[in-house]
Amino acid sequence: MPERSLDGASGSRPGLRYTLLALLFTFLWAAAFVAVKVGLYSSPPFFLMASRFLVAGVLLLAFGRLRGQTLPGSLGYWGALVVLGLLNYAIYLGLTAVALRHLSAGTGAVLASTNPLILAVVAAVFLKERLTSWKVVGLLTSFGGVVWVMRNRMGGDDRPESMALILLAIAFLVTGTILFKRWGLTENLLVVNGGQLLAAGVALMIPSLLLEPVGSVRFTPSFLAAWGFLILGVSCAGMWIWFWLLSHGDASKASAYFFLNPILGLFLGALLMGEPLHPLDFAGSAAVAVGIYLVQRS
């Protein structure tokens, strides 16, 4: 797949539309954590993800066709979508689901927040994105804020192999992000996202059918509500926004918003599930916000 140049927005300071969409993506991604917790009460993890990916992929491809977008006409393009679907969805979320069984929420959030740090370094090498001193300060400030907020939520019985799995999953996600930017798949984002989701759904449904008790899935009202949100709100809308952000700016600036995910997840958990908040959580949250601001203005 040949490389193509992106639009002139890459490397420039983000505008209001970019910022608002980034915040909406962050909210949807954080809310997905709550929805997944609800969904897992009634479904095994691989089946929950595979079924949501399959349905979302079919919906996006069908909607793209209704809007006049053409499906990829070459095996090379489909091959690229399969590779990206495995990296961005199937392997990343599959490994994460396995790892989180033996990790506390705090440790998982801290490890997941290494994504923007790793991506900033890799993007400087492979995408030639500027790694300025202010960007480094902003990234470290946000990461420090996440560590501060999550420090009391980190468990003492976290398994080292599970921590390694999270870092491996992030490596696959970073690779998928870099390839998406280098391959220049910035047009027909409905089809691009739909193709990835379809490939990921097929890939995860195979181990689900082989290893999981899919007959135990209970289609309760709460499960259907969570499942529907994961399909429409996260896989269809949220991930379309993510690829739009990557198409209209630096990968390192887009990924900086991932620092907000555990913060918003805490507040949503407190609002919807009655989970406790501590006064110092607000100080850490402020540090995360300041860090993201520095990254976007660098």
User: In the prediction, which pLDDT does 10 show?
Assistant: 45
State the pTM of this model: 0.87
Calpha distance 43→230 (Å, rounded): 13
Q: Which residue carries 């259907």 as its tokens? A: 224
User: In the prediction, which pLDDT does 206 show?
Assistant: 95
User: In the prediction, which pLDDT does 4 show?
Assistant: 41
The answer to whether 169 and 99 have CB atoms below 8 angstroms apart is yes
**Could you state, in chain order, the average pLDDT of each consecutive group of 10 residues for the chain (298 residues)?**
41 77 91 82 91 96 91 89 96 83 76 92 95 95 91 78 91 96 87 96 95 94 95 94 93 93 80 76 92 92
The answer to whether 129 and 252 have CB atoms below 8 angstroms apart is yes
User: In the prediction, which pLDDT does 6 show?
Assistant: 38
Q: What share of the chain is helix, strand, coil (3-state, %, to 5)?
A: 80, 0, 20
Residues contacting residue 222 through CB under 8 Å, at least 6 positions apart: 38, 41, 42
User: In the prediction, which pLDDT does 294 show?
Assistant: 95
